[in-house]
Amino acid sequence: MKTAVYPGTFDPVTNGHIDIIERALKLFDKLYILVGENPQKATTFSAEERVEMLKQALKKHNNKIEVEHFDGLLLNYVRKKKSNVIVRGLRAISDFEFEFQRAQFNREFAKDIETIFIMTKDDYAFLSSSIIKEIAMFGGSVKGFVPAIVEKKLKEKFVK
Ligand code: ADP
């Protein structure tokens, strides 16, 4: 069985993430979606909320995915799942440097684990969780850019 781990903060999940997940599902039998923490910034949604939004948005792929929060080193999670592939999404060249550094770092510590990159559909190339939150915060519409459950949660969070 071919498996892979897709790690991210998913604060919140966008259609860009979903696009990467659905592309990865064509390549792997099982995808472990790791909801992690970003040491650089506090998240808007709790770990439980981020996991729940992903689960709801990915209901139809239920038998091929597993979503869980993990607050530790990515490589340890990959080993725990007995996988050897990390999936990351690429939007624009601006993502490259950061991803390149992380992939090289991970390779240094785990020669048997490979990072692969999937390019998003160009409609989502400019999409990020932070842009989504900014739009929602100022009362704009995020329809078409996030799953319905996320649209709802953003309204609850930002529309007073
Ligand atoms: P992180 O904090 O780990 O970068 P994110 O949740 O922002 O977490 O992103 C997780 C992964 O999804 C990263 O590989 C990122 O490049 C990718 N990603 C984020 N948004 C998009 C998008 N719109 N299209 C394609 N990939 C994306």
Active site residue 91: yes
Q: Is 8 in the pocket of ligand 1 (CB under 6 A)?
A: yes
Nearest atom in ligand 1 to 11's CA: 6
State the catalytic residue, choosing from 2, 41, 59, 152. Answer: 41
pLDDT in tens, the chain (160 residues): 999 999 999 999 999 999 999 999 999 999 999 999 988 889 999 999 999 999 999 999 999 999 999 999 999 999 999 999 999 999 987 788 999 999 999 999 999 999 999 999 999 999 999 999 999 999 999 999 999 999 999 999 997 6
Q: Give the three-class secondary structure for 122.
A: helix
Q: Residue whose CA is closest, atom 22 of ligand 1?
A: 16
Question: What CATH fold (topology level) applies to the domain 3-125?
Answer: Rossmann fold (3.40.50)
Evaluate if pTM is beyond 0.85: yes
Per-residue pLDDT of 95-106, as tens digits, reads 889 999 999 999
Element (H, E) at 18: helix 15-25
State the catalytic residue, choosing from 50, 83, 88, 129. Answer: 129
* Separation of alpha carbons 21 and 26, rounded Å: 9
Place of tokens 């990467």: 20
Per-residue pLDDT of 35-51, as tens digits, reads 999 888 899 999 999 99
Active site residue 82: no
